[in-house]
Structure 1
Amino acid sequence: MTGPALTTLAARVGALTVPASIPSPSQGVWYLGPFPLRAYALAILLGIVAAVILTRRRWVERGGIADDVLEIVFWAVPFGIVGGRIYHVISSPDKYFGAGGHPWKAFAIWEGGLGIWGAIALGGVGAWIGCRRQGVRLPAFADAVAPGLLVAQAIGRLGNWFNQELFGGSTTLPWGLQIDDAHLPAGYPSGTLFHPTFLYELVWNLAAAAVLIWLDRRFKLGHGRVFALYVMLYTSGRLWIELMRIDPAHTIGGFRLNVWTSIVVGLGALVAFVVVSRRHHDRETTLLRDPPAAQGDEETAPEPTR
């Protein structure tokens, strides 16, 4: 086969295997009579379901009771949604309280806009309440849920794809994201392709979840160290992805608020991991806050049956 023929064949194969761009969904909401069914909400729900399934499996593997997970999630999810919305509104105030803003839309969660930092922070409060009610240790549960959180966040990013939001700057890469004119940022001509940051974070989160599961099985991590690694891995990815995004956001010192948050939270998790690792070298031998048959140090307390 001649050189030109090989070049033509390679071009044709490339055209079949590499997409020219990633199309955005034509709609993100469907109606069942008068009731809207939004892709953003579905993505969040699917993410929660996936996280619960994975967490139940990991919790049982660590010696926990499967029903504990649903009881704790019952508290964590509502707190997390409220916290996520509060952080989103605080970090993007102009959209709601600036010129031409609509303050009442701060409550329209179904239209999109949840900040992961607020969701984890207030969701953690809900999980703490649930853990106390179930009599289990929060750090142990946090270790079990950490990979599930990453999977949930990955699935949730599909909602941004359907909403055509939170993408990066323009690109000529073959996986550039198409944005229709109704969602096109000011100053960009029709047909411009953008970095699909939703996809970057989706892939990063799934890879990070796999790494967490492997590290946990390999080193038998406990006492909140898996959760600390989750925070470090997530903030590392969020940092570089955040620097690519072009949607309006509150800035400090020329950088988006989420960039600073990623740095501070990631460093905090690193410190926590080091401190806990010096105190605990192995995984907990009991998941209960107050094991009734404990003898001596909590590290050697046997796991009672509930």
Structure 2
Amino acid sequence: MDLAYIPSPSTGVVHLGPLPLRGYAFCIIIGVFVAVWYGNKRWIARGGKAGTVADIAVWAVPFGLVGGRLYHVITDYQLYFGEGRDWVDAFKIWEGGLGIWGAVALGAVGAWIGCRRRGIPLPAYADAIAPAIAFAQAIGRWGNWFNQELYGRPTDLPWALEISEGVNREAGLYHPTFLYESLWCVGTALLVIWADRRFRLGHGRAFALYVAAYCAGRAWIEYMRVDEAHHILGLRLNVWTAMLVFTLAVVYIAVSARLRPGREEIVEPAAAGQGTSGADGEKDADDRKDGGGEESGEGSEGSAGDQAASAAGPASGSGSVSSGGMPGSEATSPGRDAEDDPAGSGSPNRS
């Protein structure tokens, strides 16, 4: 008698009147919301505007869903176009069946369209949302638990997954590969967050690290699965895909670090125009302390004059020239706070 195991839900659908609420769909939706929320936090920390991630997600998410479904249907076509199958089932995405490879690939196309419309470099956007995508995958994998699918070989381990009798499955205890992958995705997200802070990854390298780390785990987890799949030279198709994509990601990291070291200073032009932040902000502040360099010719005296004019307030009048400032420079106008000076824009952002 097995004393410990992970039970599967008796059903993956709860009916709220005539409306079916599917656990698989809920996991996908929650994952998307978490990705947008956390991706937004990281984007703002990189110097972007609030709401940009959500605006681009309007393009990326639908493209990703279509790409994920296309990859699944193409690689498992026999489930929908074989003898006795109904091709209409290929459109029933709520019943499960999304390939992460197609979701990321076509989702990147949608993100590229959104970034292009906003004048944002796609690699910077990808770096910001990379760990957010991994967290979303960790949540989305629980949809497989609701559907009792994508489990591994039989096992008697205490964390074995109980599977009930059903279409194309036998009752028993199996490796919970959905749980393995969910935990691996959480670890991947934490790895990217740490590496991004430690090495200040830029130009798409944080995203490439996420891809490489995910593929490393997906390869051995995929090898454990027992669901029907195409094989090439004795290995499942997704194992070969994981190894190929892993290699491409590692090569990209190495080449990108050599050709474009460092991180983008400006990730969103519109946000940069509202105020200077980060290293650029510190540089501008230093320039203002020096009175604008050789063009000013007055040094710190010009800064003192500007401060005196600002303190004078309305009495100084609009458009007056400070005694020690740059030729033609204006004093602070009435109603304008000293905080409006870009030199006080703050400390560097950190993701």
Fold conserved between structures, TM > 0.5: yes
Q: Name the TM-score, length of structure 1 as normaliser.
A: 0.86
For residues 130-145 of structure 1, the aligned pairs below 5 Å read: 130-145=114-129
**Secondary structure of the corresponding residue to residue 63 of structure 1:** coil
- Residue 75 of structure 1 contacts residue 130 of structure 1 at CA under 8 Å; is this kept in 2? yes
Structure 1 pair 93/118, CA: closer, same or farther in 2 (3 Å)?
same
- Residue 75 of structure 1 contacts residue 126 of structure 1 at CA under 8 Å; is this kept in 2? yes
- Rounded Cα–Cα distance in structure 1 between residues aligned with 2:271 and 2:57: 22
> 1:31 Cα deviation (Å)?
1.3
Report the AA paired with residue 88 of structure 2.
Answer: W
Alignment-derived partner of residue 8 in structure 1 = none
> 1:161 Cα deviation (Å)?
0.2
For residues 17-96 of structure 1, the aligned pairs below 5 Å read: 20-96=4-80
> 1:292 Cα deviation (Å)?
9.5
Q: Does 1:215 align with 2:199?
A: no
Alignment-derived partner of residue 251 in structure 2 = 271
Structure 1 pair 58/292, CA: closer, same or farther in 2 (3 Å)?
closer
Alignment-derived partner of residue 212 in structure 2 = 232
Q: Does 1:105 align with 2:85?
A: no
Unaligned runs of 5+ in 1: 1-17, 294-298
Q: Does 1:204 align with 2:184?
A: yes
Runs of 4+ residues deviating >6 angstroms? 289-293, 299-305
Question: Quick check: which has more Rg, 1 or 2?
Answer: 2
- Residue 49 of structure 2 contacts residue 268 of structure 2 at CA under 8 Å; is this kept in 1? no
- Rounded Cα–Cα distance in structure 1 between residues aligned with 2:269 and 2:3: 53
Alignment-derived partner of residue 251 in structure 1 = 231
Q: Name the TM-score, length of structure 2 as normaliser.
A: 0.75
Report the count of equivalent residues. Answer: 279
Structure 1 pair 231/44, CA: closer, same or farther in 2 (3 Å)?
same
> 1:254 Cα deviation (Å)?
2.0
- Residue 250 of structure 1 contacts residue 257 of structure 1 at CA under 8 Å; is this kept in 2? yes
Structure 1 pair 77/252, CA: closer, same or farther in 2 (3 Å)?
same
> 1:282 Cα deviation (Å)?
1.2
> 1:257 Cα deviation (Å)?
1.1
- Rounded Cα–Cα distance in structure 1 between residues aligned with 2:155 and 2:241: 26
Post-superposition Cα deviations, 1:16-50, rounded to whole Å, max 9, x if no partner, equal xx971000011110112222110000000000011
- Residue 38 of structure 1 contacts residue 110 of structure 1 at CA under 8 Å; is this kept in 2? yes
Q: Does 1:167 align with 2:151?
A: yes
> 1:199 Cα deviation (Å)?
0.2
Post-superposition Cα deviations, 1:115-138, rounded to whole Å, max 9, x if no partner, equal 000000000000000001111110
**Secondary structure of the corresponding residue to residue 224 of structure 2:** coil
**Secondary structure of the corresponding residue to residue 178 of structure 1:** strand
- Residue 47 of structure 2 contacts residue 268 of structure 2 at CA under 8 Å; is this kept in 1? no
Question: Comparing both chains, which one has the higher relative contact order based on Cα–Cα distances under 8 Å and sequence gaps of 6 or more?
Answer: 1
> 1:261 Cα deviation (Å)?
0.6
Report the AA paired with residue 286 of structure 1.
Answer: I
- Rounded Cα–Cα distance in structure 2 between residues aligned with 1:80 and 1:94: 23
**Secondary structure of the corresponding residue to residue 249 of structure 1:** coil
Alignment-derived partner of residue 260 in structure 2 = 280
Structure 1 pair 206/291, CA: closer, same or farther in 2 (3 Å)?
closer
Identity of aligned residues (%): 55
- Rounded Cα–Cα distance in structure 2 between residues aligned with 1:48 and 1:20: 32
Alignment-derived partner of residue 14 in structure 1 = none
- Rounded Cα–Cα distance in structure 2 between residues aligned with 1:223 and 1:256: 32
**Secondary structure of the corresponding residue to residue 182 of structure 1:** coil
Structure 1 pair 34/288, CA: closer, same or farther in 2 (3 Å)?
same
